[in-house]
Chain A
Amino acid sequence: MLVVVALLAGVGCATVQPWERGTLAKPVMAIEDPAHETAQKLRTYSAKEGGAAATGVGGGGCGCN
């Protein structure tokens, strides 16, 4: 994990200037999906699967069947 983070940090040295981010600003390039959709899908996965994903903190438990 630390190696991957270090590699990503290395990639970060290639700075992309704000005026070069026109493509990145397109709606299809939003790295975060809509909050409600993400929350509902993650809760479904969490209720129906035994594994986990690194999706950030927040959200309480439920007695989902």
Chain B
Amino acid sequence: MGVISPRLAALTAAAMALPGVHARAADAPGENPWGVDATHLEYSESGSRMNVRVNQASAVVPIGENFRLKANFIQDLMSGASPVFNSPGPGGKTQQVLTGASVFDNRKAGDIGASASFGDDQLTLRQGWSKENDYRSTWTSIEGRRDLNGKNTTLAAGFAFSDDGVSSHDAPDDFRTRIKRDFFAGITQIVDERSLVQLSLEYSYSNGFLSDPYKLVFVQSGGLLRDVRPGNRRQTAVTAKYLTYVPAIASALQAIGSLSSDNWGIHSGALELQWKKELPGEWLVNAGARYYTQSSADFYAPLYLTPPGDVHSSDYRLAGFGSIAWLAGVTKQLTPNFSVQLAAERSYRRAGLRSGGIGIDADDYAWSLYLVTLQARF
């Protein structure tokens, strides 16, 4: 048997996780380490709208070499004002009507999961719960992965089922059912010695109460009506991700493109570009931009001159619009076991960037999020 050089051994070991379960820097202590992550997020919108604070903690416990358990807990604290409907404003210009600044909700969510590896196959089961004053969710997912072709290829497939209940402050105990099923398939492929590509396809089918109990529509000839959406929704989405290392700039470049379409008439596209670079002292920085565009739902209108049909909504999220965002992050490996990560994103919504249908400038706003995560691996 020949002698393997330490460098070759190190590279081989580092490459063992490729491509589907590629280890990050903070995962370095072992292939199946103990792990604890804690995150705090601050989200805010322009115009004194919604503010959200999120605390998230998760732990991974390995059992032997082939099994691991994971637990995850999230708490959201939401406050601020939210758009309710649009109305005619001064000069005939449509304007947005918001709730008072008193909207407050406290969401608690958690999930537990178990993963098992059998040679080149991995199976993960997860069970989750989410609860807030006016929304409950119980979900289950199963996902399988298989490495092929000397770990040059990873196939993934999964299914998730979510059983939700929606109520409102007006009728807090009247929970109406919303069911969602997600089917997912993906492939990750090593293209060459410095490039990876990932292609994913997802189909979702939802039915039940899909309306928003807090949204209204304004009818010029008849006052306000409740938001009413179709009783089912079928969404199809495809996402492609390409990551390549460019030696000339000692950096990685990443592109993520998504297209989606649904039976409500919303067609969307997104493109995200990122630059990632390692710096001396175990620093990793990234910066990039994201472009998003969508067309409006078939039944959307900013306001209605005459009574609308059975389904109608003026929800700004179902309008035609686009957005431009910048994003940035930095990760510092503090010790072999601990790292800290900061991330930020700011997004500017513009009706003029829509890819079709109807959208109004009055719905435009900007949001920001800032996130800090502490990671420990043992």
- Could you list which residues of chain A lie within 8 angstroms of chain B, going by C-beta atoms? 1, 4-5, 8-9, 11-32, 34-37, 39-41, 44-45, 47-65
10 more A-B contacts (CB under 8 A) besides A40-B39, A51-B260, A58-B126?
A21-B14, A21-B18, A22-B11, A27-B284, A32-B24, A36-B58, A40-B369, A41-B369, A52-B268, A57-B160
**CB-contacts of B292-328 with A (<8 A):** 292, 294, 297, 317-319, 323
The answer to whether B134 and A63 have CB atoms under 8 Å apart is: yes
Q: Are A57 and B141 in contact (CB under 8 A)?
A: yes
Known contacts being A62-B132, A63-B105, is A24 close to B193, with CB within 8 Å?
Answer: yes
Cβ B137 vs Cβ A56 within 8 A: no
Please indicate which of the listed interface residues A5, A21, A34, A65 has the most CB atoms of chain B within 10 Å of its own CB: A65
Q: Which B264-283 residues have a C-beta within 8 angstroms of A?
A: 264, 266-270, 276-278
Name A26's contact: one of B198, B278, B286, B375 (CB within 8 Å).
B278
Interface residues on B, range: 35 or more
3 smallest CB-CB distances across A and B, nearest first, come from: A51-B268, A63-B135, A21-B15
Count contacts between A and B, CB distance < 8 Å: 255
A12 and B149 within 8 A (CB): yes
Q: Shortest beta-carbon distance, B141 to chain A, in Å?
A: 4
Residues of B within 8 A of A54 (CB): 184, 186, 200-202, 237-239, 258
Partner of B371, one of A5, A25, A37, A47: A37
B341 interfacial contact with A, CB 8 Å: yes
A-B residue pairs in contact (CB < 8 Å), sample of 20: A14-B191, A17-B150, A25-B22, A26-B278, A40-B54, A40-B371, A49-B317, A50-B266, A52-B204, A52-B235, A56-B158, A58-B126, A58-B139, A60-B130, A60-B164, A61-B130, A62-B137, A64-B78, A65-B50, A65-B103
